[in-house]
Structure 1
Amino acid sequence: MEIKTRTSPSLLLIAIIIIGCVYMKFWYSQSTVENLFFILKPINQLVQLAIGSSSIRMADGSYYYSEIDVLIDKSCSGFNFLIICWGSLSSLFYRSHKSIKVNILSLFKALGLAYLLTIFTNTSRVIISIHLLRFSEMATWLASSWFHEALGSFIYLTSLLLTYLFLLKKPYETHAQLT
């Protein structure tokens, strides 16, 4: 049995992905709501369309829905999901038999797809959370922070799993042999 070894271009690409994820996480920790405008604005616009309510843009760049007392701010941006999604897609798009240039271009392809998935997934998360808040008088735990975080985690993991399965060419033949 032959053992595959990683080549220098492979290690370089893996290093770029890891350094990119660490840098994005550091940037996010230092960012303001205004820095996340490129994510928050499209999410806010889609939420407005979905729930039929308008928001007010606050001085810090967050969006406030006074009718339902909901604030979309930095913690609602989904940037951590963007980081995880980009890292996952980058490693999924990596092909050891392709040139380094093709693999570097795939990093940008992964970033574009990760951005679109972040907007879609996070908008879905916000809309579901808003709709569930309507039932919080009957079930107070629906408005709790732990439930909000658990729901977000479930939605993000589901999105990553479905994206992975969708992008596989032969998911059952390659990764899960059925008997």
Structure 2
Amino acid sequence: MKNKLSLLFLFTVFCIGFAAKWIFTNLDVEYSIWLLKPTTIWVEQITGLDFNLLQNEGYVCTQISPTTIIDKSCSGLNFWLMSFLLGAFVLHKKITDLWRFFYFFILVFNLAWLVTIIANTGRIVISIKFLPLLSPHIEYAQSHLLLGIFIYVTMLILYYLILRKWDMGIRN
């Protein structure tokens, strides 16, 4: 029973992840608000800047130059998906009954969301505060891409290490 529930858990998470990727890729920015709004709130708190939601655009800040937009591409959907799947693959062996199935599903979903908000906030704040300082030496688009790779890979590694440490402390 334990192995069947564990496999059902992985299958469920995979299906939801696949569906989320397929559905959200084809939707407008308004459907990414569940990731964009909390990220924007944290960015506003850290930077002191104000962002306003423009329909079909995203969150726009005109207080700095160039105008900064937190749009659908900044939502981190792919990162959320990787975090969601990573959490499921690390913790799936802890699924021993139906109660743990739902508990770990909700846990993995919410942890992936939180890690995504943290990673996106860090990426955007660093992009706003520090990347303009590099513009004489490296093209902004390149530095933004490299920063995203660095932040996301670092956060995925940290998330994995935290999950593994926490996983070892959970008794079956």
What TM bracket, shorter-length normalisation? 0.7 to 0.9
Task: Give the number of aligned pairs.
Answer: 164
Q: So what's the TM-score if we normalise by structure 2?
A: 0.85
Structure 1 SS opposite 2:108 = helix
Please point out which of 144, 157, 162 is paired with 1:161.
157
RMSD: 2.1
Structure 1 counterpart of 2:22, which letter?
F
SS in 2 for 1:169: helix
Match of 1:121 in 2: 119
Deviation at 1:157, TM superposition (A): 1.2
Conserved in 2, the CA contact under 8 Å of 1:37 and 1:61? no
Normalised to the residue count of structure 1, the TM-score between the two structures is 0.82
Q: Secondary structure at the match of 1:135?
A: helix
Alignment of 1:142-157 (within 5 A): 143-144=140-141, 146-157=142-153
Q: CA deviation at 1:97?
A: 6.4
Give me the whole-angstrom Cα distance separating, in 2, the residues matched to 1:7 and 1:48: 45
1:133 to 131, 134, 137: 131
User: Structure 1's 12 and 43: CA in aligned 2 closer, same or farther, altered over 3 A?
Assistant: same
CA distance in 2, matches of 1:167, 1:12: 20
Q: Which has the higher contact order (CA 8 A, sep 6+)?
A: 2
Cα separation, partners in 2 of 1:39 and 1:15, compared to 1, 3 Å: same
Measured against aligned partners, the alpha-carbon deviations of 1:103-157 in whole angstroms (never above 9, x if no partner) come to: 232011100111111111110111011122321442242x12x332221121111
Alignment of 1:23-38 (within 5 A): 23-38=19-34
More helix by share: 2
Counterparts in 2 of 1:86 and 1:62: CA distance versus 1, 3 Å: same
Contact 2:53 2:60 in 1 (8 A): yes
The unaligned stretches of length 5 or more in structure 1 are 1-5, 172-179
Unaligned 5+ runs, structure 2? 168-172
The answer to whether the aligner puts 1:91 opposite 2:89 as a matched pair is: yes
Which structure has the greater CA radius of gyration?
1
Residue 6 of structure 2, aligned match among 5, 10, 21: 10
